[in-house]
Every structure is written in C-alpha cells, then in structure tokens.
Amino acid sequence: MPWSRALLIVVPMAMLAAILNAGPIPLLVLSALALIPLAALIGEATEELAARTGPVVGGLLNATMGNAAELIIALAGIRAGLLDLVKASITGCILGNLLLIMGLSLLVGGWRYGIQRFSRERAAILATMTVISFIALGIPTLFSRTIAAHHPGAVGTMSLEVAGLMLALYGLSVVYTLRARHPLAAHATHSARWSPLRALGILAAATAGVVVMSELLVHALEPSLKALGLTEFFVGIILIPLVGNVAEHFVAVQMAAEDRIDLSLEIAVGSSLQIALLVAPVLVFASLAMGRLMDLVFHPLELVAMVMAGIITAFIALDGETNWLEGAQLLAVYGMLGIAFFFV
C-alpha cells in the first residue's frame, strides 16, 4: 500500500525526536504514526511468506503474525508496569475489529452493492467462537472477588489456568479452520512478489522497528497523558488498537468494497478472536516471565462493552446477509462507547 510506504519517513523522525528530547507529546505522536507503516510491513511480509508456503503453513503464519504489532506494544506496556493500559488495549482491539472495522466494511460494501451475502455456516462458527472467547475473558472478572475472599492470591493462578485453556481452544480452532479449508490467511490470495530471503529480512527489520517504536511510545505515554488530560483507559481502548492494526483494517474495508464480504468478515472477526484467544493468554504467560503477572480481571465496563459487541456480531451472522444500515449501527455503537470511555 503506497500510503504505508510514505509513512515510513516518520520512523527516523521519531528516533530523532527521542535523541533530541523533543518532548513527550511529539514523541508520542511520531512513534504512534511510525507504528502504522511498520505493522503494515509485518503483514505484507507475512503474506509474501504465506503465498510461498501453501495454505496450511501460510494460515499458521498469518495466525501467528496477524497481531504481532499489538503483541509487541502490549509487551512493552507490561515491561513498563502499565498493566491496566495493556488490558484496555485488548478490549480496544476487540471492539475496534467487531464494531469499527466491521461497521466500516458493511457500510462501504452495503452502500455500493445494496445487500451483500456471506456464508452463514462460517459466520456462525466465528460468532460462536467470539461469544465463547468473551465468556473465557469474563470468567476471571466475574469470579475474582469471590475467589479472592476465600483464596487470597488465587486470582493470578486462575488467570493462568484460564489462559492455558484459551490457548488450547485457539489451537483447536486453527486445526478446524485448516481442515475445513477456510484459510486463516484469507486475504493472502496474491502470488508471491518477494523472494523468501527478502520477505524474511523485511519481516525481521519491521518487527525490530515495532519493538523500538513501542518502547518510545510507552516511554512518552504517561507524561503525555498528564499533559493532554487523557486517561490510560481511553488511550488503551481507542489509540493503541488503531495504530497497531490500521493496515489490516484497511484490507477488510477494501475487501468489502470489492464485494468480497466473506473475506472482510473473516479478517475483522478473525482478528478479534486472535486477540482474545491468542494474544491475551500469551500476554498473561509473558507477564509471569517478566515478573509482573497480568491477570485477566477486566474493568466491568470493559466486559460489558465486549459482550455487547459479541451479541451484535452474533445477530448479524444469523441471516447470512448484510446492508449498509447494519454497518452504520455498528459505527454508532462504537462511537457511543468511545464517548463513554473518554469520561471513565
């Protein structure tokens, strides 16, 4: 995508801002913008490798690297001790995929083609997995107070055990998807243009760039929030999910605009599932290794918002067709939640 190539100029600008101590707000803005093209490069390099390895290995590659940028940003947040911010970013990624990106996709595709139809069977599987993933995320939150009252210190253990089951469930879903011939890397349908060596080199360089920019972003975050009067909660739910996954979001909307709504929904819903069932539990175990255990106890409002998004997704999947009004409804819900979280 040409626009992502142009944004690469921001990467050295962010590094220069850090060297010159330009201040937290310029550093926050530049590092956030720099993450957008770097995340796009990770996705593009992964697709190039997937195009050469076949549907099975390619699907696993995309499943593993699909949310690499968000994972790296979250790891930087855990290292800095910003656990509430990290959990808010998990919520924000899920809401962004199910409400913002799906909403934009349905709006653009429906406005252009009227009614768009998709596979009810595949959509029902995705919707069911979405609801189950929210149940898994909700169990530690719902039971935490009772467990803490009777077994002090057991909430972290419960989160680790639930995270293990979530990873197992995600692994089973990957096996089912591949055996059912629904490739996880649904948007990697082009022929390879890069050599494997070039793809690996760009993937490594882009990943290293995301690591550096994530550290700069986290370093500038707290003083910037104080200066701007924003909360970690709002930034985690709105800002971080946008900068970490803009490229994939763009692809989902583009697929809907080309009347490939099945593909668009696969990207939007599939990405939210990866966040819930893969990224979140991986972060729990990674935080344990870092000595800063992050439990899966979310703010009750986060849990309510995720459940609302899951219910809406399930309703949309019922009839096997979408229209632009459903997209507008999803966007309206996302806007309402954004306004509400701004004041939390």
| Residue 191 confidence (pLDDT) above 80 | no
Domains in the chain, please, with CATH? 2-342 (1.20.1420.30)
Reported pTM: 0.87
Can you give the length of the chain in residues? Answer: 344
The pLDDT value given to residue 37:
87
Computed on alpha carbons and rounded to an integer, the radius of gyration of the chain in Å comes to: 19
The pLDDT value given to residue 91:
93
Going by pLDDT thresholds of 50, 70 and 90, the confidence category of residue 184 is very low
191 contacts: CB under 8 Å, gap ≥ 6: 51
The per-residue pLDDT of the chain, averaged, comes to 85
- The percentage of residues in the chain with a pLDDT greater than 70, rounded to a whole number, is 91
The pLDDT value given to residue 58:
61
Q: What is the pLDDT of residues 58-101, one digit of tens each?
A: 656 666 666 788 888 899 999 988 898 999 999 999 999 999 99
The structure tokens listed for 324 are: 């632009």
